[in-house]
Structure formats: structure tokens, C-alpha cells
Copies of this chain bind each other. A is one copy, B any other.
């Protein structure tokens, strides 16, 4: 399913293609999902990103580098094209956007919140800083470069965002 999405995009994600990739009959696919959007919603609800590993190095800077590096690897990795097609569908369809927020995005949100909460408990940053837009800066810049602007996405960008933007902003409040 994600393989079809990566190869064909959302437009090419037909029930036929999914049945073929899954090695089952089309009737089996239709018994579970009545439409392409529903099929994608089902995938979103049981997404693999539910098991996102949360870094716990004991140091906020290292945890942020780890989270952003994981993000970059997902964008650049074998599932990157599928995730891009999925996000294209999410951007264009409010029902899919809602399912995406409930599923994969909530997992990411929990991972980020855990890392920031631990830094608050260690006294590295204030609770106010953890709840500010500063915490969104790194993932937002990576996401917009990846999906829209095509800006650089190398390893340097992670240290620039962590040391040049997120840590100074999070420590300042």
C-alpha cells in the first residue's frame, strides 16, 4: 500500500493496484474499505510511526539532534516518496488531514513533548519555553524545505537548526 503510494502517488493509488501489491482479490480490498480515502485512513490509523523511538540521552541538545536526524532520514529514506504522496493527499483533503493528525502526527507530537518535558524536569528549559513556537522551528523548517521550497536538507541543516535556532530560543525563555 505504501509501496504503491510511493511509486504511483495518490492519483495512481487504485484499488486494483493495492489488490495486486497485496496479492489478494479486489473484492477482499473492497470488503474492508469502500473507497481510496477510507483505505488511506485505515493505513493512517495503524501507521508504523506509532512506534516512533523517543531519544533519551539526558541532554536536550542531543535529543533534538536525534529527533531531527530521524525526521531527515524518513524524508530521504525509502518511505520518503510514499510519505510525500500521503502528505499531498492530507493537504488536499480535510478528512485525511484529521486522520493524519490523530495518527502519525500525534505520535510525533508525543515524541517531541516527551523530549521537551524531560528537559523541563532536568531544569534545562522552562515549561513556557517547551510550550512555545520555538519547539516547532526545527521540524517546520525541515518540512517546508522538503515539501515546498526544495531548500537544502543535509546533515548541516540539523546542527544549524538545533544550535543556531532551537537551543538559543528554548534557553532564552
The answer on a CB contact under 8 Å between A105 and B149 is yes
Give the size of the chain A interface in residues (CB under 8 angstroms): 41
Interface SS of chain A: helix
A143 adjacent to chain B (CB < 8 Å): yes
Q: How far apart are A2's CB and chain B's nearest CB, in angstroms?
A: 15
Docked complex Cα distance between A151 and B147 (Å): 18
Binds B, one of A21-29, A47-55, A71-79, A90-98: A90-98
A150 adjacent to chain B (CB < 8 Å): yes
Please give the residue numbers on chain A whose beta carbons come within 8 Å of chain B beta carbons, in ascending order.
Answer: 9-11, 84-85, 87-93, 97, 100-101, 105, 132-134, 136-137, 139-141, 143-145, 147-151, 157, 160-161, 164-165, 168-169, 172-173
